[in-house]
Amino acid sequence: MRAIPRRTSEPWRVGVLFSRSGCTSVIEETQLRGTLLAVEEINASGGIHGREVVPIVYDPASDPGLFASCAKRLMVENGVTTIFGCYTSSSRKAVIPVVERLNGLLWYPTPYEGFEFSPNVIYTGPAPNQNSVALCRFLMQHYGSRFYLIGSDYVYPRESNRVMRELVRDNSGSVVGETYLSLRAQHRDFLPVLCEVRRLQPDVIFSTVVGESTACLYQRYSDTGLDPRRMPIASLTTSEAEVMAMGADVGQGHITAAPYFESVRTPANSSFVACYRKRFGNDQPTNMCAEAAYFQVHLFAKALAEANSLETDILRSAVLGLEFDAPQGRVSVNETYGHADLWTRIGRVDSRGGFEVIEQSRAQVRADPYLIESGRAL
Ligand code: ACM
């Protein structure tokens, strides 16, 4: 159903919720940048039906409770229906009841643990079948089958580690240890963990540590004298932004699975990287979360151009099935799950803090958030 177009020059107001302070602000700040860059591009080319897109931006300070109250404020006080936002799964899970109750649409640009569906969310980061499965296969082929799991203590790490544990065990591997630390863990907190790793000598450390403490983990690993050529840290979230925070020398040799790295060679990426660096500083790399934040706003603009309405039910049906030439390659929104079909890549940190792509899918991988179609075979 299409809305009857109204003649107006009123802007399209949208909400934006990424943290500019707190323990996950380093990566969320880049998601804010990706969002604003796309909004600026859309407005520079005339807006949507001649109307500007105007973002209303709040800082939820890496606090899930604040994410929920900011989402409510956006919808109730600012009259917004579409919200771009959230990095941690705990912030997404805090915002979902708000958008479900008030019938809003949350656009979520972050890798997550899967096993979720909401008619009020469009997921543009990868689910486990788009990153964990390929990563597990790669690690078993190249390093071995004894895994040590370490994560921050909240839903994404615990659930992603559960998926990884099942993948490892179903493919004749073993999990030799598993540890969780606070999202605010410091250098000293990682010392006992790395002592245990040295004692157990796994083939690989699978890390779901996120936020500021990511740098602490990799720096402690480096101080302990472990060798990424023999026992790398493998992650789904450590991107160019986290490597910049820890130092390229510390990150070099470690592995990440993601749909996007700055080094991806597509025409859309050359333009994205050039515009991002021009806008935010030549020393500021792009990363998978900034890229998803960027392309989801362009997908939104395509859907809005078709729907000419921000009403959630109308906009969502215009989004499903849409395609876009994103920096990572062509992506589309999967009609079954409202998740994006994305590329799968394995990257290794190089000496300059970028990622060398060492494996990639031949085409986009269909989102299968419940691992129904792909199963657990590698
Ligand atoms: C995450 O919490 N989904 C990174």
What is the SS3 assignment for the chain? CCCCCCCCCCCEEEEEECCCCCCCHHHHHHHHHHHHHHHHHHHHCCCECCECEEEEEECCCCCHHHHHHHHHHHHHCCCCCEEEECCCHHHHHHHHHHHHHHCCEEEECCCCCCCCCCCCEEECCCCHHHCHHHHHHHHHHHCCCEEEEEEECCHHHHHHHHHHHHHHHHCCCEEEEEEEECCCCCHHHHHHHHHHHHHHCCCEEEEECCCCHHHHHHHHHHHCCCCCCCCCEEECCCCHHHHHHHCHHHHCCCEEEECCCCCCCCHHHHHHHHHHHHHHCCCCCCCHHHHHHHHHHHHHHHHHHHHCCCCHHHHHHHHCCCEEEECCEEEEECCCCCEEEECCEEEEECCCCCEEEEEECCCCECCCCCCCCCCCCC
Which atom in ligand 1 lies closest to the alpha carbon of residue 113?
A: 3
Ligand 1 atom closest to the Cα of residue 154 is 2
Q: Determine the distance separating the centroid of ligand 1 and the alpha carbon of 88, expressed in angstroms.
A: 4
Distance 43 CA to ligand 1 centre (A): 30
| pLDDT one-digit tens code per residue, 66-80 | 999 999 999 999 999
72 contacts: CB under 8 Å, gap ≥ 6: 98, 102
Tell me what pLDDT residue 5 has.
Answer: 52
**Cα-Cα-Cα-Cα dihedral sign, residues 72, 73, 76, 81:** negative
Beta bridge mates, 106: 83, 121
Question: Given this model, what pLDDT does residue 1 score?
Answer: 47
Residue type, 301: A
For domain 12-126+265-341, give the fold: Rossmann fold (3.40.50)
Which atom, in ligand 1's list, is nearest to the CA of 236?
A: 4
Mean pLDDT of 183-193: 96
Specify the fold of 129-263+344-360: Rossmann fold (3.40.50)
Ligand 1 atom closest to the Cα of residue 210 is 4
The answer on pLDDT for 3 being more than 80 is no
Ligand 1 pocket check: which of 18, 155, 207, 210 to mutate, most ligand atoms within 8 Å of Cβ?
A: 210
CA of 108 to the centre of ligand 1 (A): 10
CA 171–ligand 1 middle distance (angstroms):
25
Q: Hey, how many other C-beta atoms are within 10 angstroms of the C-beta on 352? A: 9
Domain with CATH 3.40.50.2300 in the chain: 12-126+265-341, 129-263+344-360
Residue pair 122/255 in contact by the 8 Å Cβ criterion: no
Ligand 1, residues 27, 88, 289: which to mutate, most atoms within 8 A of Cβ?
A: 88
* Percent of the chain at pLDDT exceeding 90: 96
Answer whether 110 contacts ligand 1 (Cβ < 6 A).
yes
pLDDT tens-place string over residues 295-324: 999 999 999 999 999 999 999 999 999 999
Q: Nearest 10 degrees: CA dihedral of 367, 369, 373, 377?
A: 110
What pTM was computed for the model? 0.97
Instruction: Identify which of 67, 93, 112 to mutate to test ligand 1's pocket (most ligand atoms within 8 A of the CB).
Output: 112
* CB 237 near ligand 1, within 6 Å: yes
List the one residue out of 80, 93, 66 whose CA is nearest residue 13.
Answer: 80
Cα of 24 from ligand 1 centre, angstroms = 10
Kindly give the distance from the C-alpha atom of residue 156 to the centroid of ligand 1, in angstroms, as a whole number: 5
Ligand 1 center to residue 248 CA distance, Å?
23
Chain mean pLDDT for the chain:
96
Q: Is 210 in the pocket of ligand 1 (CB under 6 A)?
A: yes
Q: What spacing in Å lies between the alpha carbon of 45 and ligand 1's midpoint?
A: 33
The per-residue pLDDT for 241 is 98
Residue 237: the pLDDT is: 98
Position 6 pLDDT exceeds 70:
no
Nearest protein CA to atom 1 of ligand 1, as residue: 88
Please name the residue whose Cα sits nearest to atom 2 of ligand 1. Answer: 88
17 pLDDT more than 90: yes
pLDDT for residue 221: 97
Q: What is the pLDDT of residue 9?
A: 84
Q: Tell whether ligand 1 has an atom less than 6 A from the beta carbon of residue 154.
A: no
Q: Does the beta carbon of 334 sit less than 6 angstroms from any atom of ligand 1?
A: no
67 lines ligand 1 (CB under 6 A): no
Over the stretch 29-49, which tens digit does the pLDDT of each residue have? 999 999 999 999 999 999 999
What pLDDT is recorded for position 125?
A: 98
pLDDT tens digit string along 208-253?
Answer: 999 999 999 999 999 999 999 999 999 999 999 999 999 999 999 9
Q: Is the distance from CB of 17 to CB of 70 less than 8 angstroms?
A: yes
Q: Looking at per-residue confidence, does 1 or 327 come out higher?
A: 327
Task: Report the separation in Å between the CA atom of 110 and the middle of ligand 1, taken as the mean of its atom positions.
Answer: 6
